Chains A and B, each alone.
Chain A
């Protein structure tokens, strides 16, 4: 358990990382480093998107599965790593 906490701390302190959050299977954020409203927004939207993405991947080949999802925008990059029950979202500014 401590390992995971450490990893998340490391991620947060990495260069360019703006924030991270853990969202459960229903789209409810469990822990976050951002403020509440932003978190809720990210959680809801990305949860739906991840479900869609995963569904797409698996429909094409059921033996395949989604490993991660990257959305690069002008300002920063949103990285989503889905798990069986949880979703880890990290927002990083890669250009810094």
Chain B
């Protein structure tokens, strides 16, 4: 662009450049590239400086006037456009060249009111009214549209050239669209007049937020996973499951609560107390070990020693003393009862009391184990002397005890308090005389435990534990036969016999024998309370013990203070065998392994062992057992499985003795035959003997 009026006449050469030829064009370019003269003016002084290449002209030439004409011609427009004419085959000069120079063009968004689009918008605005006027406008539009075509051609360069074809297209579109429903037009708003509208939402500033936790505390854990650790885990799991099952089964929630309370109490007590209590089991074991060491030789004897000398002793045997059980607390008390535990064969119970009528004091119940001879396993004490005891076969932890004062009591070994679980009293029918014997019976029909007791007051009483109470029933009252006295008004007074011993038949449940102080033995039945099944005139003095044979159902044995031991067949009124032992016999017991062996102990401190199969008339063993002569032996019991007997004396000592082999002989079978064992053999053996005796008797 050349600044037209800004030129100073002192540089006319420039003006001439317009009409000059090529040379001036160069200058145009040169001058065009110069920096604007304005800068020259202020940086330099106003002194005019002649450029070196300035055309030098004479003054006359300088003053020459030139006329200038201002035309509307576009200086940039080409002056000589030539086109090739195919018709003539030459180039032809176009006379008229378009002189229009577009300085600036901008597409705007203003639409003239009268234009096609304008009208359309206007028309749309009036759609709200929705009247017929719109229809008129439509008609007028179509007329105008045709007129508008021409002026639009002139606008070709002013507006966008696309308008022309657009207008044409728009016509058709509008024609089409005007006839259909009005709302549709809305969709085509500005279809081709697209404008983009962009907006930018706020970009939230990004922020890094970190947090670090404390690392979880770590500990080192190490364990072994052996086979047995796995097994232990399983066992624990099983126990837990069983416990939960049991808890579900417990009915009342109250019971649970009390259980929990008890548990909590236990827990708190345990945590407070010294942990020594947990060593109790180990302490017990160690005590036994220590004892085993001390009494090592005895233990060895017990297990292995068999008296070899028995071969030389002609059918006689000996009793080897083993352990001696004694306790300081029971030192002055006589052993009044002995019983082996039916389940634990090394455990036996000793009842302490006194046989002396004048000196009655307290009583004790001690349970010893052969594994620990120095101290009893269980200790119970009572006010009155214990005269008898028995252990239940099915519940080996229940021990029933009869006292000198006529009471009976039951001790539960599972709860080793000093007090018995059940106790009779004067109200609940205790005996008025010492209880001489007690025996457990089978559970009755209601599954209640029951036992019998016999006493000097002549009553045989059956006791039942019903709902944790002791209920008694008189079974039989022992009347002395022939002693009924007529008292005034027709009352009959009977003298009561005094029972001192009884035994129940092993197989015939209801039958039992009672021995009395008068020396008679009555065979009774549980069902008949007034009559005896049979009476035997057994002894001259009180009967101390009666006992059925463990194998033979008909045979029983009795012993008495009249120095005799008698063996009976209960169908025959007279005894089969009578043995005189030269001293009052305290107790007699059958051996559990043979139907013909039995032992008797006398007050002179001797123990006698008989084997009817070997010697019908004499004892095969006759041995003083206790040290001091004044020591009377009061009771004897065979161990059910081991070849030992325990003997109690009236000093409170219990001695354990081993039977030598001769005393345990099984009948020799003829060669070639098998050695037969079992109850049938025993019965047969005894039968043979009895038959012999009977034959002898019938003969005499």
Contacts and interface: CB of A to CB of B under 8 A. Distances in A.
B293 A16 contact: yes
Interface string A12-40: 00111100101010000011000000000
A53 interface: no
Contacts of B286: 11, 20, 68, 79, 81, 88, 90
Nearest to B276: A4
A84 B236 CA distance: 14
B375 A10 contact: yes
B232 to A, nearest CB: 8
Given A15-B294, A16-B294, A63-B231, A86 B273 contact: no
A2 to B, nearest CB: 10
Contacts of B287: 7, 10-11, 14
B290 A67 contact: no
Nearest to B285: A81
A88 B227 CA distance: 26
B669 interface: no
B280 A94 contact: no
A16 to B, nearest CB: 6
Contact of A77 (B228, B274, B293, B374): B293
A88 B228 contact: no
A24 to B, nearest CB: 7
A17 B290 CA distance: 8
Given A20-B286, A62-B227, A77-B293, A1 B274 contact: yes
Contacts of A7: 280, 283-284, 287, 375
A84 B280 contact: no
A70 interface: yes
Given A10-B374, A10-B375, A62-B231, A81 B294 contact: no
A14 B279 contact: no
A86 B282 contact: yes
B360 interface: no
B226 interface: yes
A81 B280 CA distance: 11
B279 A58 contact: no
Contacts of B296: 94
B281 interface: yes
Nearest to B274: A1
A48 to B, nearest CB: 14
A31 B275 CA distance: 11
Interface in A40-96: 55, 58-59, 62-63, 67-68, 70, 77, 79, 81-88, 90, 92, 94
Q: Which of B231, B276, B284 neighbours the largest number of chain A CB atoms within 10 Å of its CB? A: B276
A86 B290 contact: no
Given A30-B275, A86-B278, A94-B296, A4 B285 contact: no
A87 B230 CA distance: 23
B623 interface: no
Instruction: Classify chain A's interface size.
Output: 35 or more
B283 A92 contact: no
B281 A83 contact: yes
Contacts of A90: 286, 289-290
Interface in B265-281: 273-281
Contacts of B281: 83
Contacts of A10: 287, 374-375
B282 A87 contact: yes
Nearest to B287: A11
Given A4-B276, A81-B285, A58 B226 contact: yes
A82 B282 CA distance: 6
**SS of A interface (majority):** mixed
B284 A59 contact: no
Interface residues of B, number: 29
Nearest to B283: A7
Nearest to A80: B286
Contact of A1 (B232, B276, B290): B276
Contacts of A14: 287, 290-291, 294, 374
B276 A94 contact: no
Interface string B51-75: 0000000000000000000000000
Contacts of A94: 293-294, 296
Contacts of B374: 10, 14
A70 B292 CA distance: 12
Interface in B446-502: none
A62 B228 contact: yes
A83 B277 contact: no
A83 B279 contact: yes
Contacts of A8: 279, 283
A96 to B, nearest CB: 9
Given A31-B276, A58-B226, A63-B231, A92 B290 contact: yes
A76 B275 CA distance: 28
A16 B281 CA distance: 22
B231 A88 contact: no
A13 to B, nearest CB: 10
A85 B284 contact: no
Contacts of B285: 67-68, 81, 88
A11 B285 CA distance: 11
Contact of B275 (A20, A86, A87): A86
Contacts of A92: 290, 293
Contacts of A55: 226, 228
Contacts of B279: 4, 8, 22, 83, 86, 88
A70 B289 contact: yes
Contacts of B226: 55, 58-59
B237 to A, nearest CB: 14
Given A4-B279, A59-B226, A86-B282, A79 B294 contact: no
A8 B284 CA distance: 9
Contacts of A68: 285-286, 289
Given A11-B286, A16-B293, A84 B231 contact: no
Contact of B276 (A22, A59, A62, A79): A22
B276 A11 contact: no
Interface string B241-277: 0000000000000000000000000000000011111
Given A62-B227, A62-B228, A92-B293, A1 B277 contact: yes
Contacts of A81: 282-283, 285-286, 289
B290 A3 contact: no
**7 interchain residue pairs of minimum CB distance:** A58-B228, A62-B231, A81-B282, A62-B228, A94-B293, A88-B282, A83-B282
28 contacts: A4-B276, A4-B279, A7-B284, A10-B374, A11-B283, A11-B287, A14-B374, A15-B294, A55-B228, A58-B231, A62-B227, A62-B230, A62-B231, A68-B286, A79-B289, A79-B293, A83-B278, A83-B279, A83-B281, A84-B278, A86-B275, A86-B278, A87-B282, A88-B286, A90-B290, A92-B290, A94-B294, A94-B296
Given A86-B275, A90-B289, 18 more contacts: A1-B274, A7-B280, A10-B287, A10-B375, A17-B290, A22-B279, A30-B276, A31-B276, A55-B228, A58-B231, A62-B232, A81-B285, A83-B281, A83-B282, A86-B279, A88-B282, A88-B283, A88-B286
